[in-house]
Structure 1
Amino acid sequence: METLFIYRWTLGSLLCLLLPLVGIVGTRLHWWPYYVGLLWLVAALACALLLLPLALWQRQWLATASPTLLILLVLPFMIKAFTLPAIHDISTDTQTPPTLTAATTLRSGGDHNTDYAGTTVAQQRATWPEIQPLIIQQPIKQVHAQVQALIAQRGWTITANSDTQLEAVVSSTLFGFRDDIAIRLTPVEPTAVSNDVHDLNSEQSATKVDMRSASRVGESDLGANAERIRAFLIELNQL
């Protein structure tokens, strides 16, 4: 016990690093449900918030490094959790969103179902008004090839692929949380032009692109799905 007291600062610093690491590894390896991994992170954050002021008070400068690092890494996610609405399913078309066909067989009993509830539409529009369908003045076959290339470039795993819709799965960097994506392509008249037009050549056929991104677990995605759709459609529109 006396030895533990002597090395209390070192042990506290190690806990701030080891607890989130255990939570991340265990969640990625499916040792426990996702919320258990998050509890490990919460425990590490509590340890850091306790250790940091004590270390500063005792002038243990080295012991402040790991709790400070952990707090700085977690802070942006905490800000998002408190400022963004609790949404985990985002779609450019909130009336008839693309269906998550492949996800119905890939999701487990503890995951969200693939039904689009639509109860958060007002919150989505208020927070991310730019999440809208994209109209590209190119034939559907050409847009399909571009979408498939962008999916491969991002390293997403394609789970379904037809002439009018592609579906994929993407995993988060740390915990490996999986989100399902559906990209629907609809041929439209070339005159159906929005501000997001890629090519103003009215002689070509046009394609409407709708995209849906939905998390399998958790009530809030911390804005990840909306940002994924926004970034993907911007790059697609630049091709």
Structure 2
Amino acid sequence: MRKEPSRLGSVILGFSLLGLLAVLIILFGARLGLWEPIVGFQLARTYMNPIAYSILGLGVVGCIYQLVVSNRCGAIKSAFAGLVGLALLAPVIISSVMPAQSFPPIHDITTNTNNPPAFLVLDKSRKGAKNSLVYGGAEVAEMQKKAYADIAPIQTSKTAQQAFSESLRVANEMGWEIVAQDENALRFEASARTPVFQFVDDVVVTVTTEGSASRVDIRSVSRIGRSDRGANAARIREFIETFDQ
């Protein structure tokens, strides 16, 4: 009587671990080179919650059954499976408890909305790009100011050359791929990836001399998507916080 329920608990636990593996592959498949970032994103939207609910449901039912037949080992295995499902549902649970943050429908963020740094090397031929590198103008600038009022240039006492070197250091520390750099013009262009789905965004950094000090401007643009859900603003904030640490 005890062996059959125990095997059932093992099957449920195995299913939960396979489901967890499937979710991890979906989330990090682009990083592993299995598919393009948009494919992983679409797979996550389509399958992640159904997988999580299935695991949670099987875990709960299995745990109840194992308790009824007094199989402690099987109940523990099923309960663990249920916890896996619950963990996978964490984003859903958090979003239901905490109000979802709203983001403006923009994907081009810069510290200088009056004169955004221009891309001179990266262009419309960049792989997978759907969005233009031409700045959207006053409408985009107004939406950015309302949503991300804290985004501002770095004002530093460093010389322009020192600020340029520091900017390159920060970019490398953040894992950006430097596409082009011009030490004379004090500017560089780079590509950065989002941490999970590995979406590629393009970045340009310029340094301007201001007397004995200098100013650093950053612009970050998503290759695809109307809204970046705050990713570019977060990247610029991290750059500013890391600068000269």
User: Does the pair score TM above 0.5?
Assistant: yes
Partner amino acid for 2:219?
A: R
Partners of 2:122 and 2:237 in 1: CA distance: 21
Q: 2:111 aligns with which of 92, 95, 103?
A: 92
C-alpha contact 1:100 1:180 (8 A) present in aligned 2 = no
- Segments of structure 1 that go 5 or more residues without pairing to the other structure are 1-5, 191-204
8 Å Cα contact 1:17-1:44 kept in structure 2: no
Change (3 A) 1:32 1:72: same
Contact 1:133/1:208 (CA < 8 Å) preserved in 2?
A: yes
TM-score calculated relative to the size of structure 2: 0.74
Matched, 1:39 2:42: yes
Q: CA deviation at 1:97?
A: 1.0
Q: 2:52 is matched with which residue?
A: 48
Contact 1:97-1:212 at 8 Å conserved across structures: yes
TM-score (norm 1): 0.75
Tell me the alpha carbon deviations over residues 191-225 of structure 1, each in whole angstroms, 9 at most, x when there is no partner: xxxxxxxxxxxxxx121211111222233333221
Q: Deviations over 1:132-162 (max 9, x none)?
A: 1222233211211111222222232211111
Report the Cα distance in structure 2 between the residues aligned to 1:160 and 1:24, rounded to whole angstroms: 30
Letter in 1 for 2:143: Q
Greater CA drift, 53-62 or 118-127:
53-62
- Give me the whole-angstrom Cα distance separating, in 1, the residues matched to 2:217 and 2:158: 15
Change beyond 3 A, Cα 1:105–1:83: closer
Q: Which residue number in structure 2 is paired with residue 219 of structure 1?
A: 226
- For 2:225 and 2:33, how far apart are their aligned partners in 1? 16
**Equivalent residue letter for 2:127:** S
The percent identity for this pair of structures is 30
**Which amino acid is 1:212 matched to?**
R
Q: How does 1:1-239 map to 2 (within 5 A)?
A: 9-10=12-13, 12-14=15-17, 16-29=19-32, 31-42=34-45, 43-53=47-57, 55-56=59-60, 59=63, 60-72=78-90, 82-104=101-123, 107-118=126-137, 119-162=139-182, 163-188=185-210, 190=211, 205-236=212-243, 238=244
User: How many residue pairs are counted as aligned between the two chains?
Assistant: 219
* Offset, 1:182: 0.8
Report the Cα distance in structure 2 between the residues aligned to 1:110 and 1:216, rounded to whole angstroms: 5
Task: Please give the per-residue CA displacement for 1:5-51, whole angstroms capped at 9, x wherever unaligned.
Answer: x6773465245313323323543355544332123212022221344
1:69 is paired with a residue whose SS is: helix
RMSD (Å) for aligned C-alpha atoms? 3.1
Deviates more, 1:67-76 or 1:213-222: 67-76
**What letter corresponds to residue 64 of structure 1 in structure 2?**
G
Q: Deviations over 1:160-184 (max 9, x none)?
A: 1113211222222332221211111
Cα distance, 1:26–1:154 mapped onto 2, change above 3 Å: closer
Distance 2:128 2:198 in 1: 18
